[in-house]
Amino acid sequence: MDEPKYKRVLLKISGEALAGDKHFGLDFQVMGRVADVIKECVAMGIQVGVVIGGGNFWRGVKNGEGHIERTRADHMGMLATAMNCMAMADVLEQKGVDVRVQTALEIKEVAEPYIRARAVRHLEKGRVVIFGCGVGCPFFSTDTAAVLRAAEIGADVILLAKNIDGVYDCDPAKNANAVKFDAITYDEVLKRRLAVMDSTATSLSMDNHIPVLVFALKDPYNIVRALRGEKIGTIVKEA
């Protein structure tokens, strides 16, 4: 087996990706395939942290707009991520993976509070750590949470698993002539206002020099391919 390119990674999975073709709730077949791949990554000796979005249940700024005050709507979104984290942890545990859930909001009955040193220790012991509830503050996305946790734990790369297979110069769903980038700089993403992550997350990854690899989760094995250094998706990095 080829030596993995990265030692410690932060995998960001959108909530929508876990819903599969249902677009709402949880698709346990999809989650099972993702768990199989995470288990293989751990077997390769890679330390894996995971951040999961909550859009398959509730997206604060979108679902609450005009009906619920933004701060409360965002807190509801954080709770949605906690449900996803608990479900993903259970699927992983059924497959024999040692996993811990840590949340930015204190929900001590179901998860550990986020403590950086404890998270790093779990990773060093080969446990998968799933980080829930974003950063614990409204107005910050789970993409920003993924970059923040990646910086805190010293991750080598952020694996951004989405419903699209990379970064394009425009929306490929709306323009059949959209061009996909193999590599692009943080500055270019910000300048072009490309929908890779929100601008806060992109700036944070740029300031902390953490590369972001964007690829499609439709084939979860892309995670292993990325860790082996195969060319998939789009890498966002410094010039």
Known binder of ligand: residue 138?
yes
Known binder of ligand: residue 59?
yes
Exposure string (b/e) for 91-102, b if CB count within 10 Å is 16 or more?
Answer: bbeeeebebbbb
Known binder of ligand: residue 141?
yes
- Beta bridge partner(s), residue 130: 50, 101
Known binder of ligand: residue 64?
no
Known binder of ligand: residue 54?
yes
Known binder of ligand: residue 171?
yes
Alpha carbon distance 94, 223 (integer Å): 20
Known binder of ligand: residue 136?
yes
Known binder of ligand: residue 6?
no
Known binder of ligand: residue 186?
no
Alpha carbon distance 136, 120 (integer Å): 19
Known binder of ligand: residue 13?
yes
Nearest to 219 by CA among 5, 37, 12, 6: 37
Known binder of ligand: residue 168?
yes
Known binder of ligand: residue 55?
yes
Known binder of ligand: residue 135?
yes
Known binder of ligand: residue 156?
no
Residue-wise DSSP of 98-124: -EEEEESS--TTTSEEP-HHHHHHHHH
**Tokens standing for 218?**
């439709």
Residues making up the binding site: 12-15, 54-55, 59, 74, 135-142, 163, 168, 171
Residues making up the binding site for ATP: 12-15, 55, 59, 163, 168, 171
Residues making up the binding site for UMP: 54, 74, 135-142
